[in-house]
């Protein structure tokens, strides 16, 4: 496999779901380079061609590190309709990709929704006796439980009524020309994957990068997550002038340094 080639994985279909292909790009570790690999878990309506994902892949290639980035169903170059997507589906995509396309310990890097997905993956791996696969977690503006806490709880009664009766509401966004659909299925399925009602384990160190000018995931939400990460070492970097994207050159540099530091303890002597 040549670095950065586009490949597709066909995961087992979920009950009632149609067959689909997941698009991914994988960079293999250079010969003789030890330590964990890197898995990028993107955000809601984002893809593996985002600024942060591409920058991390370029850094991994230069450092000789293994790196996996992929598109969830209905995102980027993967099959599927975005409006059919749910947290459960995208979590299943991530778990399938990690088990199929990585070996050994991994540092999970989750951005926004990807932060929630990373924590769900960590729990699933640990429950399956695979906690050794978890080398660490870097979370960028982690939108844990966002469908309930940052969407449903903030919606007006009128918006809730539209979602409940029509099955979707078109939410305006600053990140695209067209509004993004919020479906009843997304909200209802999200409730089956909530994490902030109990302690959360990552089975490794956690570093959270959180902008204090983030209008989508307030910095207080990151602090709420920290309160639930009671068993694992956690560090938090609050960036006073950073927004939700954290895609400026200085943000990318900060992210790479956080990932590099997370990987460094596992490197030989």
Q: What is the pLDDT of residues 138-179, one digit of tens each?
A: 999 999 999 999 999 999 999 999 999 999 999 988 777 789
What own/partner pairs with CB < 8 Å and gap ≥ 24 does 53-61 have?
A: 55/252, 55/255, 55/256, 56/109, 56/255, 56/256, 56/259, 57/4, 57/25, 57/27, 59/256, 59/259, 59/260, 60/27, 61/3, 61/4, 61/27
Determine the pLDDT at residue 267.
40
Mean pLDDT of the chain: 93
Q: How many residues does the chain have?
A: 269
Please write the tens of the pLDDT for every residue from 24-54: 999 999 998 888 999 999 999 999 999 999 9
Determine the pLDDT at residue 41.
98
Distance, C-alpha 244 to centroid of its chain: 14
Low-confidence ranges of the chain (pLDDT < 70): 1-4, 265-269
**Rounded Cα gap, residues 213 and 72, in angstroms:** 27
Give the catalytic positions in this structure: 112, 214, 244
For the chain, give me the number of helices (H) and strands (E)?
8, 10
Residue with tokens 């070492």: 233
Exposure of 141 in the CB half-sphere (CA atoms within 13 A): 26
Determine the pLDDT at residue 69.
98
What the block records as the tokens of 164 is 């409940």
Determine the pLDDT at residue 1.
40
Q: What are phi and psi of 165, to 5 degrees?
A: -95, -35
Determine the pLDDT at residue 34.
82
Query: Which domains does the chain show, CATH number per domain?
Result: 7-266 (3.40.50.1820)
């Amino acid at each position: 496999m040549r670095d950065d080639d586009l490949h597709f994985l066909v995961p087992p279909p979920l009950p009632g779901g149609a067959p689909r292909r997941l698009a991914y790009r994988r960079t293999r570790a250079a010969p003789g380079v030890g330590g964990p690999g890197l898995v990028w878990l993107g955000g809601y309506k984002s893809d593996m061609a985002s600024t942060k994902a591409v920058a991390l892949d370029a850094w991994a290639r230069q450092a000789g590190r293994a790196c996996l980035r992929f598109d969830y169903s209905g995102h980027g170059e993967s099959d599927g309709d975005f409006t059919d997507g749910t947290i459960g589906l995208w979590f299943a995509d991530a778990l399938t990709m990690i088990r199929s396309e990585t070996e050994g310990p991994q540092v999970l890097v989750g951005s926004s929704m990807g932060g929630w997905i990373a924590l769900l993956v960590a729990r699933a791996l640990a429950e399956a006796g695979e906690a050794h696969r978890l080398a660490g977690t870097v979370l960028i503006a982690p939108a844990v439980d966002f469908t309930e806490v940052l969407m449903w709880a903030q919606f007006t009664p009128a918006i809730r009524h539209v979602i409940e009766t029509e099955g979707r509401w078109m939410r305006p966004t600053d990140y695209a020309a067209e509004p993004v659909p919020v479906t009843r299925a997304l909200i209802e399925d999200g409730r089956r994957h909530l994490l902030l009602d109990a302690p959360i384990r990552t089975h490794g160190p956690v570093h959270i990068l959180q902008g204090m000018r983030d209008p989508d995931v307030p910095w207080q939400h990151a602090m709420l997550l920290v309160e639930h990460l009671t068993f694992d070492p956690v560090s938090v970097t609050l960036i006073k002038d950073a927004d939700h994207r954290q895609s400026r050159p200085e943000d990318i540099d900060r992210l790479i340094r956080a990932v590099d530091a997370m990987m460094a303890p596992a490197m030989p002597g």
